[in-house]
Amino acid sequence: MLYTRKGDTGTTKTFGCCDQRISKSSAVAEALGALDEVNSFLGIIKVNPLAPTTVVPGGADAAFALAYVINEVQQNLFIVQAEVAGADKHITEDKVRGMEAMIDAIEAELPPITSFFVSGGTELAATLDFSRTLARRAERRVVGVADEGTVMIGKETLAYLNRLSSLLYALARQVNHKSGITEEPPTYK
């Protein structure tokens, strides 16, 4: 059944709350919603016709299709959501290091960053950049839960979320670079 009516009063239940219900406006619910937003939007990127043909270096001479990389991130975001909800699920250090290797491999292909850049270029790059902003918001919400102390959030989870926005930014830059798009810095005029 797609509805239970239990949330009609503005409460919800998570893994960690047992029979206790929490407000849908609580820090935990906000974090879960922000993670769900970024995960859903990554689904749009994954089905972009260019995603399966866009090669993403993975470090150590490995390369992956963008759709594969995005799917891995989506799977990991479910782990983060479970952790925020109180389940005994956690992001591992290996997942953080794997993401760092991928970011490093992408960055090695790109010109150095000398300024901020105006989002755009290709549609795929723009959607990757938008997903970066969603990931940053989700990170802030999860940090809020960690600061509140109601749920223990692992340091690897916080590191993973911090690296996620870097990965999405690197991917956006890579897509534009491979498309021959010159990054446009802001004019501040």
Q: Which domain holds residue 97?
A: 21-178
User: CATH no. for residue 112?
Assistant: 1.20.1200.10
pLDDT at 19 over 80: no
In a domain, 7, yes or no: no
Flag whether 38 is in a domain. yes
Q: Is 60 exposed, middle or buried (0-12, 13-18, 19+ CB in 10 A)?
A: exposed
Residue type, 2: L
9 within some domain: no
List the beta bridge partners of residue 178. none
Buried b (16+ CB within 10 A) or exposed e, 153-181: bbebbbbbbebbbbbbbbbbbbbbbeeee
pLDDT band at 11 (very low <50, low <70, confident <90, very high): low
Amino acid making up residue 149: G
Q: How many domains does the chain have?
A: 1
Whether 3 maps to a domain, the answer reads no
Residue 37: pLDDT over 60: yes
Q: Is residue 71, in this structure, part of any structural domain at all?
A: yes
Q: What is the reported pLDDT for 96?
A: 98
In terms of pTM, does the model score above 0.85? yes
DSSP 8-state code for residue 9:
T
Whether 11 maps to a domain, the answer reads: no
pLDDT range class, residue 161, cuts 50, 70, 90: very high
pLDDT tens track for 93-151: 999 999 999 999 999 999 988 888 888 999 999 999 999 999 999 999 999 999 998 88
pLDDT in tens, 48-92: 988 878 888 876 667 889 999 999 999 999 999 999 998 999 999
